[in-house]
Amino acid sequence: MSPPNKELTGHKLLLLVPWEPPAGYVDGLRARFPGLEVVHENWDTWSQPTLPPHLTEEDWSTVTVLLTGPKFPTREAAPRLQLVQLQSAGANFILDNPLFKDTNIAFCTANGVHGPQIAEWIVCTFLAYQHRIPYFLGLQRAHRIGADSSTRSGILGYGSIGRQVARVATALGMEVYAYTNRPRPTPESRRDDSYVLPGLGDPEGKLPSRWFSGTAPEELAAFLDSGLDLLVLAVPLTPLTRGLISGPQFELLARGRRTYVANIGRGPVIDTDALITALNTDAIRGAALDVTDPEPLPSDHPLWDAKNIIITPHVSGNSTSYNHRLLAILNINLERLSEGKDFMNRVSRKRGY
């Protein structure tokens, strides 16, 4: 943490995003922080293979705060860089980058931006399956008429997305079980201090009726074997979560109520071959995937034709409010930088998220 600098004198913010900041946003920053230089470069770091080639060494040498996607300067090119605000909630693409691994630069995610829309996607796909909407749409296209309780939702990864899912699921009458890798035995330990829209989510961690935790296989097994109707995978991709749900885990899910699985985290959290087997043998009721492994999914991949599956192209987090929420997190972190405080949504170099 740096000493307080209320006006952010000597700081330079580079907004490296493929959209224009809202009207008045940059002027508002300059009014709040008179010493802050603000530069906007309209550049899509997700689709472009490099950083903007027209930015010179002199341009980068004075940048202290950077809003970006998955492209970064070297430490040598940006020696004064202190804070990198990511556009995404996931941080798996920075874990092996030297700018993250070999420095103390703060990297902060957009965690909290996605909760409302992803919760809607999860509930939408689950209810579509519950009410057999894909089946009836198929009958509709064929011009045919077909004949035709309370549920328990288990949320693996109880961060900002999981907490908003819990809020919506509870409103629909579902019981919620939560799972985190670290124990949360006290009310204070169950709090979440990441970004949340007012009135949404579960910042105090009060909604789950049971809370599971741990990293050992038997601890995860106890959660998966707890009679879940819906399993929501909302964990980041780290070495610990890669392949977390595979054959043995699907066997556990098959022992209870035959779970429906929704994955909105990262595709490699699930073993794809094991998922296909679980779907086609009715070990699970179905699956809704907004992320896959591989991604994008090749047109001839067998996952497309697995039973009872809904696949969308990594769009559950899309929202017309996305950029406004992202800039709200950036504003909070600029405020904390000016006060010499630690940042919101800072990625832990130990945990990888």
Q: Which residues contact 307 (CB under 8 A, 6 or more apart)?
A: 279, 280, 282, 286
Predicted pLDDT of residue 191: 96
Domain segments of the chain as ranges? 12-112+320-339, 115-311
Q: In terms of CATH architecture, what is 12-112+320-339? A: 3-Layer(aba) Sandwich (3.40)
Confidence of residue 146 (pLDDT cuts 50, 70, 90): low
Residue 11 appears among annotated catalytic residues: no
pLDDT above 50: residue 259: yes
Alpha helix (H) ranges present in the chain? Answer: 25-32, 57-61, 98-101, 115-130, 133-141, 160-171, 217-224, 247-255, 272-280, 322-339
Segment holding 179, helix H or strand E: strand 175-180
Predicted pLDDT of residue 29: 97
Find the catalytic residue in 54, 131, 314, 324: 314
Predicted pLDDT of residue 130: 86
Q: 203: cis peptide before it, omega within 30°?
A: no
Q: Identify the CATH number of the domain defined by range 115-311.
A: 3.40.50.720
2 versus 240: which is more confidently predicted?
240
Question: Which tens digits make up the pLDDT trace of 147-166?
Answer: 446 689 999 999 999 999 99
pTM of the model: 0.89
Q: Let me know if the fold of 12-112+320-339 is the same as that of 115-311.
A: yes
